[in-house]
Chains A and B, each alone.
Chain A
Amino acid sequence: MSEDANLFAQQESNRRRSTWLVIGFIVFFAWVGFGGDLALGLLTADAAPGSYHHVVPVIGIFTTIVAAGICWYSWRFGPRQVLWSTGAREVTEPASADERQLVNVVEEMAVASGLPKPGVWIVPDDDPNAFATGRDQATASIAVTEGLLRTLSRDELQGVVAHEMAHVQNLDVRLMTLLAGMVGAIALMSDGMGRMLRGTRRVGGGGGRGRGKGGNPLALVVLVLWLLTLVLAPIVSRILAMAVSRKREYLADATGAQFTRNPMALASALEKLEAATSPTRAITQGAAHLCIVDPAPGLLSAKEGFFADALASHPPIRQRIIRLEGMGYQQAKRLGEPSSGPRPVSPA
């Protein structure tokens, strides 16, 4: 009962956050556009009667439409885009023993979670990692790297897939995929706007003689604020993505352990993932928060603390392993014997 209520609360919260994310994103773009209009309008207000006056907020209208377009695109094609950016290929007909096992394990986890079977994808990368994407449970996909298939045992693979299935079940995938699209768009826009701004300043410097007379202080304030948003937006959006992701990893670990009833397998999988220190090259920064472990492990991923909290996309793996082992011991105590619980069999 309470588990169900918990799950519904998580799903509801993810739906709500997704909506707010879209609203915030559009408002931000509108501010960038209309703010630019305002600054430009104030700057050209004192200009000579014959020269250009910025009256119609064309930039604002344009950016708002673009933002809405990006939102729709992230919603509609975000999952496909994320998969495409990693160069993943879908496994429809398993060709090798490894692929067959992966498909089987995904099917098992679909049964365990009571969800439809998600798409299965393989990322051609030697570093072990995995992620899930999609807008709802029915259209979700789970991707693992070739390195993961090679390094992990069947039980460990099951643990990782269960973790990803947990993200699918509580709709983390929707929020994360939308975020991935938007973080990318903001980075792109910040670049573009910066370039455009340099152009505008040249035009303004030539035409706006008003500045020589002292200018409009309000225009300056708006301009400074506007510039500040542009500069900070990529950083803030990245931090937001990281913060959103960090909390969810513990939760997905716990839910995944509930699916397999075997927290130790995921713990030992994480142990192996931690040991593989080389970065996952196929997965770019924009999709880092979707992965089970940080694809580009830096110094921060090992630390807990304010800066690490703000800047790392994942909680320290050590911490996650400790929590999982805690669950394992509790389960063993409850069952009286450590290894022969009701969990399913698997060859060594």
Chain B
Amino acid sequence: MKFSDAKESLLDFWREFRMVKSGLFGLVLFLLFLAIVIFEPFILPFPDVNKTWRDITYWEENPKGAPPVWINWFSAKKRPLTQVFEDPKNTESEMGNMKMVSTVFEYELQADYSPQDLIFKARASGEPMFIVTLKRPDGEEVTVFQNSINLGNKVTDVRITLNGNGRENAIYFARPYESDENYAVITPKLVKAADVVFSQAKEGIFRNPETLKGTYEIVVQTILRSANDQYMEPRLVVPGKAFGVLGTDALKRDIWSGVLAGVKWALLIGILTAVVSVSIGVIYGVISAYLGGWKDGLMQRIFEIFVSVPLLPVLIVMSAVFKPSIWTLIIMMSCFFWTGSVKTVRSIALQIKEETYIEASKALGANNFRIIFKHMVPLLIPYSFASMALYIPGAIVYEATISLLGLGDATIVTWGQILSDALSSGAVLSGLWWWVVPPGLSIAFMGMAFAFIGFAMDKILHPKLRTR
């Protein structure tokens, strides 16, 4: 087969393929996924997601289990979004040896829910004292935190959170407003400080708080005990109750970033497994048909053994025992996937074998290798492409299933792993649909894209099934 022949037959194929609308739709979807892979660095909201998916500190500024931002468009009660305040006003005052720096952040709350938390971050050294005060629009003041932190001589990170450090103070602030019978019902240890301090100071502040809208002032006073002590880069994060395109999970990770990062792995797993296994299957089938006789019989026996293996259980056990990386998993899957195409290929190859041009090239003294790879395998290329396309979804689902059981490669982000985390954190039970739906939908969409392509090719290859 010359290059021009191949080009011509490919063009022919394309002309036919163009007529099948569903196939074109699949192709567009596939190109869309490909575009996501290529432009991934530009569209990822968290560019380091590939390295830091399992690093909790990278995600700590995000809200926990927050729904997507666009949920606000559909609901009457609006959720606050995450806000970050950097470079605030610092006022310094000297008090003898000590120095006091007070940093003021202004937070405007117009949503119908309180934000999830307040996270104050800075870098400091020595043993400074921090006083964090929240000035509410109704004139009340809540001291969130008041303590000194021993940081040593090196400049280290300071992190003060409202929920982590301020619960007692919040309860102390709100207790006078709440009625006794309401307070008796709640469990003080489960009170979230952020729900209380951003709520209207009246009865029900614990049980069913109503958000107090207006401008809040968060004042952080830092008292440095000696001239050597340092204090810099103060920063306030107010995690909202809605986040990003697809929300966050229970570990505060941005699901949209995870789903985007999973695209390339799904494509890689699917395409690589399909290409390797179909190639093996086609070559195996052709060789078996061509050789014939006892060699064919032996190869069919070996094939039968592979067919008799229940695929998923074996993959599960192998993954549980050998803890494979993604590459090993692809090899393992290819080891079993190749059987699917052998039977059809063998029957087609048995027909090709009887063609006169095979006989002619035999008479010309061509060796087996040449006949198999030059005259037989190329004829099966269209068939292989169709079955490759139909294998890809299967491979992706198998990897996702292995990951769902917690046996996936922990160094990468795949859709199956996101779903595995969702399942083990009880996302189904607590209704975090934005954690469960998108990764699975991505698997389904990718499967759909290749199914459309594969079925369209299948239709072209089997004209009998075409609808008149």
Q: Do A and B come from one complex?
A: no
Which of A's residues lie within 8 Å of B, judged by CB? Answer: none
